[in-house]
């Protein structure tokens, strides 16, 4: 099994556990587990704080170490618009709130890097196909104009 195949298998196992956990009555444990895993990956992959929005998004993508699943689509108005194509246990479930809980992992990583994340479109929504759409900004960016998927009808 190649290195990428091992990483994919690990991410699938973790997502296969944490996705259903985020939908359960025990969902509060998702936040704890996500932050623990983010700290582990931060140390393991030698994460580094970044300053600019593009550098923050690139470091977030680097930490996953599977570039075929995490892409930076464009940088606009100091916001990096990205896609996540990794298979998700919540895909099509209709439980966008669970997706928000599950994405605590990404938010915890980005906080360490110096950024913040908003999920704009979640594949947990049965109408969203292909990829989750996320936006990344610097942690000190005060704007609140992005509408999180969990708040959309």
pLDDT digits over 102-128, tens only?
Answer: 999 999 999 999 999 999 999 999 999
What is the 3-state composition of the chain as percent helix, strand, coil, each rounded to the nearest 5? 45, 20, 35
pLDDT tens for residues 48-77? 999 999 999 999 999 998 999 999 999 999
For residue 51, what are the contacts with CB-CB under 8 A and spacing of at least 6? Answer: 114, 138
- The H-assigned helical ranges of the chain are 3-23, 28-44, 53-64, 96-102, 104-113
Give the closest residue to 148 by CA, choosing from 106, 109, 113. 106
For residue 135, what is the domain's CATH number? 3.30.1380
For residue 139, what are the contacts with CB-CB under 8 A and spacing of at least 6? Answer: 110, 111, 114, 115, 116
> What pLDDT, on a 0 to 100 scale, did the predictor assign at position 7?
85
Q: CA-CA distance, 12 to 17, in Å (whole number)?
A: 8
> What pLDDT, on a 0 to 100 scale, did the predictor assign at position 153?
59
> What pLDDT, on a 0 to 100 scale, did the predictor assign at position 1?
76
Q: CA-CA distance, 24 to 129, in Å (whole number)?
A: 24
Residue 67: which domain range?
3-151
| Count of domains observed in the chain | 1
């Amino acid at each position: 099994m190649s290195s990428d195949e091992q990483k994919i298998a690990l991410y699938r196992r973790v997502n296969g556990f944490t996705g259903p956990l985020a939908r359960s009555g025990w969902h509060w444990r998702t936040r704890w587990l996500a932050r623990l895993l983010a700290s582990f990956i931060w140390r393991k992959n030698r994460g580094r704080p970044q300053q600019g929005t593009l550098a923050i998004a690139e470091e977030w993508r680097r930490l996953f170490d599977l570039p075929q699943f995490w892409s930076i689509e464009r940088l606009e108005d100091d916001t990096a618009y990205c896609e996540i194509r990794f298979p998700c246990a919540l895909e099509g479930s209709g439980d966008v709130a669970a997706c928000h809980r599950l994405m605590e992992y990404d938010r915890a990583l980005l906080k360490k890097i110096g950024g913040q994340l908003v999920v704009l479109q979640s594949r947990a929504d049965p109408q969203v196909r292909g990829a989750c759409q996320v936006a990344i900004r610097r942690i000190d960016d005060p704007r609140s104009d992005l509408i999180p998927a969990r708040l959309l009808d």
